[in-house]
Amino acid sequence: MLRISEHHRPGTLLLLAALLLALPHTLWAQDEALTDSKAPTGLTLEQERLGSRFERLEAVAARLAELAEKSEPEHAEQLRRAIKASREKGLAERFGSIVNLLETERLSAAATDQEELKAELELLLQVLLEDPNDSEREAMKRFLKGQIQELGKLIRQQRSLRNQNQEGADAKRLADKQSDVNESADDVQKALEENSEGGSESKSSESQGAEAQSGESQGAQSQGGEAPGSESQGGESQGGESQGGESQGGESQEGESPSGESQAQPPQESNDPIQKAAQRVAEARRAMEQAEKKLRDAKRNEAEAEQREAQRELEAARAELERILRQLREEEMERLLAKLVARFKEMLAKQQSIYEETVTIHEASSQASTRNLMLQTIRLSRREAELVRDAEKALTLLREDGTSIAFPETTEQIAEDMQSVTARLATGSAGPITQTVELDIIAGIQDMIGALEQARDELAQQQGSPPPPGEGGGGSPGESPLVPKLAELRMIRTLQARVYKRTQDLGGLADNPQVKPAELAAELEKLADRQERIFEATRDLNSDANR
């Protein structure tokens, strides 16, 4: 059973992920050295060290899986999956193969193998970064949404019955309908109890209790059979017990016996939020039963009071489930925002490094040979292509969340600019237009980081408080947006400001002899398309706000 309040990842997995993350970047640096068609001194030795580090990493992962088996079985299984994937693909052996290629100076083949190995290591990293509780959380969210909808139906039906009672509808017919609503509420109560943390424990306790009662009964019968000489006494004793049982049963029905009163009392409130909701539904059902009885006795006013109580308890149960769903959503948002901030910060550092090298290459272009210039820009192009993939992964996260409009649009524009820079660098262009687009990418990433960090801070401040109007609550099973509407509007304004700034920057390049008119016209055409998309995003945001 998923514990609602637990969502933190163990530090061991994050440490392994960090160690594994360093390997692809080291391979990438080696691959850059191979691009110059010469084997730098110590490259083979460095490759051997990487292989040794990876073998140690596998051994550490195996040991951690053993240690976490009892306390964290899900994460132990996650580590074993990563180890199995690594061994099935022979990743440790592939480090040795690359060493052999480097020793024989087969540099092109070594570079190809390093690219493939780097991709495999990144896939392995994703296995380590997966959250094993994600599927369970999603199942819990679907269950909660379904029960919230069912409770909404019950509340509408109960309200309708109360209104009909006030209007003087046929009491017997209303009693029959009240019974039907009670049966539907019983289904909801059972579903909630089965999915609560104590559901399985309760079933186990009931089973053990039934077995104990059965054993006592058999023991009593056995003792009665072993004492034939005291048959009369045994009979009197059994008869007395039987009578006592009948008496207790009768008193229980009338509510006069202390034990009967104890059984009629509602159960103590549970700490499990789903069980709390189930108890609320149970209270609603008790009120429904009383309302049905009063209706059959033609006591409309008393029945109306019970119907009102039943509706109140159902609404409280729904509010409890909405609170749980909102908490799950807040935890999901917290993880997603942290992941996005980390990803964009990494992208920012890489993009700033690429920009600085682009400027350096352009400034030295008059003195460098065409071949060296092309090799350097191609190397930068490959690094920019890596950034495109990073941006697309961030875009996928935002689209899968599905609650934001401006933030996915911003990320998509950043990815498109990165693709443009990749293409320009691949052709040896490190001039003013390339640098202008790179600066715009940097500004866009900085805007995203600032907005996401602000959204994360606001989420931390509002956690546990009721949702703002129009953002969940009120019986709607919809999810709170990842970022508030105000943040969306600010991002739209930022997008518009960047279009304006780039328009000015491109206008300033019109008289630059290094800029071809055709290139400038192509960039302006892209800006026109971007302006149209900003308009569409603004329209969609407005439509969503008025929905």
Convert the pLDDT of each residue in 344-379 to its tens digit. Answer: 999 999 999 999 999 999 988 878 777 888 889 999
Q: Assign 545 a pLDDT band (cuts: 50, 70, 90).
A: low
Return d(Cα 377, Cα 355) in angstroms, integer: 11
Q: Which of 48, 4, 355 is nearest to 196 (CA)?
A: 4
Return the sign of the alpha-carbon dihedral for residues 469, 473, 479, 483.
positive
Buried b (16+ CB within 10 A) or exposed e, 342-358: ebbbebbebbbebbebb
Residue that wins the pLDDT comparison between 79 and 483: 483
pLDDT-wise least confident of 1-15, 31-45, 89-103, 250-264: 250-264
Q: Assign 198 a pLDDT band (cuts: 50, 70, 90).
A: low
- Predicted confidence (pLDDT) at residue 189 exceeds the cutoff of 50: yes
Predicted confidence at residue 132, as pLDDT, reads 64
- Predicted confidence (pLDDT) at residue 228 exceeds the cutoff of 50: no
Q: Which of 482, 342, 480, 469 is nearest to 407 (CA)?
A: 482
- For 476, list phi and psi in degrees, rounded to 5: -85, 130
Return d(Cα 348, Cα 512) in angstroms, integer: 28
Do residues 349 and 446 make contact, with C-beta atoms less than 8 angstroms apart?
no
Predicted confidence at residue 138, as pLDDT, reads 85
Q: How far is CA 26 from CA 51, 53, 102, 121, in A?
A: 12, 12, 15, 12
Taking residues 380-399, what's their average pLDDT? 93
Instruction: Count CB-CB contacts under 10 A for residue 517.
Output: 8
Return d(Cα 471, Cα 488) in angstroms, integer: 14
| Most confident among 46-55, 230-239, 262-271 (mean pLDDT) | 46-55
Predicted confidence at residue 476, as pLDDT, reads 45
SS3 content of the chain, % helix, strand, coil (to 5): 80, 0, 20
Residue that wins the pLDDT comparison between 419 and 91: 419
Do residues 154 and 314 make contact, with C-beta atoms less than 8 angstroms apart?
yes
Taking residues 134-156, what's their average pLDDT? 91
Proportion of the chain above pLDDT 90, given as a percent: 45
| Most confident among 11-25, 29-43, 80-94, 443-457 (mean pLDDT) | 443-457
- Predicted confidence (pLDDT) at residue 56 exceeds the cutoff of 70: yes
DSSP letters for 35-89:
HTTS--TTHHHHHHHHHHHHHHHHHHHHHHHHHTTTT-HHHHHHHHHHHHHHHHT
Cβ-based burial of 155 (10 A; exposed 0-12, middle 13-18, buried ≥19): buried
Q: Assign 53 a pLDDT band (cuts: 50, 70, 90).
A: confident
Predicted confidence at residue 510, as pLDDT, reads 86
* Amino acid type, 495: L
Convert the pLDDT of each residue in 280-313 to its tens digit. Answer: 999 999 999 999 999 999 999 999 999 999 999 9
Could you give the maximum distance between any two Cα atoms of the chain, in Å? 123
3-class DSSP assignment, residue 337: helix
> What angle is formed at CA 389 by the lines to CA 386 and CA 395, rounded to 5 degrees?
145
- Predicted confidence (pLDDT) at residue 57 exceeds the cutoff of 60: yes
Predicted confidence at residue 364, as pLDDT, reads 87
Q: Assign 465 a pLDDT band (cuts: 50, 70, 90).
A: low
> What angle is formed at CA 434 by the lines to CA 433 and CA 437, rounded to 5 degrees?
85
Q: How is the chain split into domains, by residue range?
A: 42-130, 134-196+271-332, 365-463+483-545
- Predicted confidence (pLDDT) at residue 472 exceeds the cutoff of 60: no
